[in-house]
């Protein structure tokens, strides 16, 4: 009804013309529903200078309902697993990547289907308004906002758990970040701006063309000299390499070498280890080293500090989180023993075992490797007499351990065999001078010389 047949039209042409003229109200319910939904692209945010970061886990599936800041995927970045949260709410319509994909800033993670988009057409008008375009320079002023220091401590900062983890991974103190979200909530974008503002001075100090920049390593065709093969580097090495390079270039490294007598301590350790085996864990020298380092760090707080972004102050930390380098099939990982000053030898030993197992199995999360104030790198199980470990910025020192050895030591009357442990302390000379490094190592030597001192 309401349609007039035209002369000469076949029945099929009439039906086609009528179908084209049907009102939207005659659409099927599912088709009408699509007109009130909008597909939103959720993308990888700006996470600094990282590029081609591999996806190691996808945390959602098609059809899942996602809330704002729910984690979507995990990325392996700078020896840490980073969760990327959603910046919108809705239902997962399509996932655009897979485990193993390499992504950079701006890559599409997935499509979300958001309800209630009927009012959405009004939004583009704001973006098209000339007033908005005129305000484009504003981000330059906003970038300076993170430099302001608030009175709110990191633990009380108004931010989600994912944003906190993101900030810890980048070494950003949330207490010094102004939130741009509702009621001052700190968003990932705020943390990114703070990170860039800290990195900007280094970039500004880069030498001009023709200056004394770092010369490139020459490219050599090794196939001219014999058979060669390109072997893919493990993911962890590809990610940690730039971070180590950055630390080596930015930090004036100095290494102080010392030896500590651990004869009596190691005898006591072996007794504890024998008993611990029955309970399924081991007591290694590293447990005692962590305990000794905490005591020495309390005496020499500068070794536990970080250099303030303004370069004029040290950040004194009243907490003691000790990172330890763990050798894994995939490369070097650095888990962290949190609040080591509040734990005994047994508890530290159990946690060392648990974190080492997670590292070997590739199950460490970002929170397992964040927040360290001091790091220990031990090669004692392999060998060596000394080495120069690279400081893990923004920390200012790292302790290297090699294999202990029996050596003759003069006791005032005769040479006696003692078990001597080499200590190699690499430090940032901007924060720690040679005298302080020597005093720190002397304190360690004193503590390790008598196990009873560690119990005080």
The whole-number pLDDT of residue 185 equals 80
Tell me the β-bridge partners of 40. Answer: 112
Residues 168 and 270 in one domain: no
Q: Please, which pLDDT band fits residue 238 given cuts at 50, 70 and 90? A: confident
Report whether 418 contacts 409 (CB < 8 A): yes
Q: What is the pLDDT of residues 395-425, one digit of tens each?
A: 999 999 999 999 999 999 999 999 999 999 9
Catalytic residue, chosen from 16, 51, 245, 429, is: 429
Q: Is 429 a catalytic residue?
A: yes
For residue 273, pLDDT beyond 80: yes
Report whether 82 contacts 95 (CB < 8 A): no
90-95 and 108-114: which strand pairing?
antiparallel
Residues 147 and 110 in one domain: no
In this structure, is residue 214 part of a structural domain?
Answer: no
Number of domains within the chain: 3
DSSP 381-431: TT--S---PPP-TTSSEEEEE---EEEEEE-SSSEEEEEEEEEEEEEETTT
151: containing domain: 142-199
End-to-end CA gap in the chain: 97
For residue 247, pLDDT beyond 90: yes
Q: Give the number of other CB atoms < 10 A from CB of residue 442.
A: 14
Segment among 228-237, 306-315, 348-357 with least mean pLDDT:
228-237
Q: What is the pLDDT of residues 29-67, one digit of tens each?
A: 444 444 456 788 999 887 655 678 888 888 888 988 888
> How confident is the prediction for the chain on average, in pLDDT?
81
Interval 339-358 mean pLDDT: 96
Residues 373 and 278 in one domain: yes
CATH label of the domain that carries residue 93? 2.40.50.100
Beta strands in 295-403 (DSSP E): 306-307, 314-315, 322-324, 326-328, 331-333, 336-337, 374-378, 397-401
For residue 133, pLDDT beyond 70: no
pTM > 0.75: no
Residues 445 and 306 in one domain: yes
For residue 305, pLDDT beyond 70: yes
In this structure, is residue 213 part of a structural domain?
Answer: no
Q: Please, which pLDDT band fits residue 24 given cuts at 50, 70 and 90? A: very low
Residues 413 and 327 in one domain: yes
């Amino acid at each position: 009804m309401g349609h007039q047949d035209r002369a000469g039209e076949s029945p099929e042409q009439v039906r086609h013309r009528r179908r084209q003229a049907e009102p939207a109200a005659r659409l099927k319910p599912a088709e009408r529903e699509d007109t009130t939904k909008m597909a939103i692209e959720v993308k990888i945010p700006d996470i600094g200078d990282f590029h081609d970061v591999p996806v190691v886990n996808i945390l959602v599936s098609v059809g899942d309902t996602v809330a704002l800041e729910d984690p979507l995927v995990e990325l392996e970045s700078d020896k840490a697993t980073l969760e990327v949260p959603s910046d919108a709410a809705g239902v997962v319509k399509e996932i655009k990547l897979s485990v193993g994909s390499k992504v950079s800033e701006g890559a599409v993670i997935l499509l979300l289907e958001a309800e209630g988009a009927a009012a959405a057409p009004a939004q583009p008008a704001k973006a098209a308004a000339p007033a908005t375009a005129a305000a484009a320079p504003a981000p330059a002023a906003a970038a300076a906002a993170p430099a302001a220091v608030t009175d709110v401590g990191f633990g009380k900062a108004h931010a989600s758990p994912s944003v906190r983890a993101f900030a810890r991974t980048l070494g950003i103190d949330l207490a010094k970040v102004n939130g741009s979200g509702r009621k001052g909530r700190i968003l990932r974008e705020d943390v990114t701006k703070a990170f860039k503002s800290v990195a900007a001075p280094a970039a500004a100090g880069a030498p001009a063309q023709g200056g004394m920049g770092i010369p490139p390593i020459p490219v050599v065709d090794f196939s001219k000299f014999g058979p060669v093969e390109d072997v893919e580097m493990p993911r962890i090495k590809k990610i940690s390499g730039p971070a180590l390079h950055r630390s080596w270039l930015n930090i004036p490294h100095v290494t102080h070498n010392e030896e500590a007598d651990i004869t009596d301590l190691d005898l006591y350790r072996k007794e504890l280890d024998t008993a611990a085996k029955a309970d399924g864990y081991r007591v290694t020298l590293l447990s005692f080293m962590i305990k000794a380092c905490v005591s020495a760090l309390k005496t020499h707080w500068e070794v536990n500090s970080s250099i303030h972004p303004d370069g004029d102050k040290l950040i004194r930390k009243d907490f003691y989180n000790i990172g330890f380098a763990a050798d894994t099939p995939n490369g070097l990982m650095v888990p962290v023993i949190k609040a080591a000053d509040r734990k005994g030898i047994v508890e530290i030993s159990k946690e060392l075992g648990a974190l080492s197992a997670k590292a070997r199995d590739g199950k460490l999360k970002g929170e397992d490797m964040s927040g360290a104030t001091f790091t220990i790198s031990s090669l004692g199980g392999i060998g060596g007499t000394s080495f120069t470990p690279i400081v893990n910025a923004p920390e200012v020192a790292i302790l290297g351990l090699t294999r202990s050895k029996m050596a003759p030591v003069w006791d005032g009357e005769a040479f006696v065999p003692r078990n001597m442990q080499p200590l190699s302390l690499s430090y940032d000379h901007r924060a720690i001078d040679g005298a302080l490094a020597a005093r720190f190592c002397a304190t360690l030597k004193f503590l390790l010389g008598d196990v009873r001192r560690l119990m005080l």
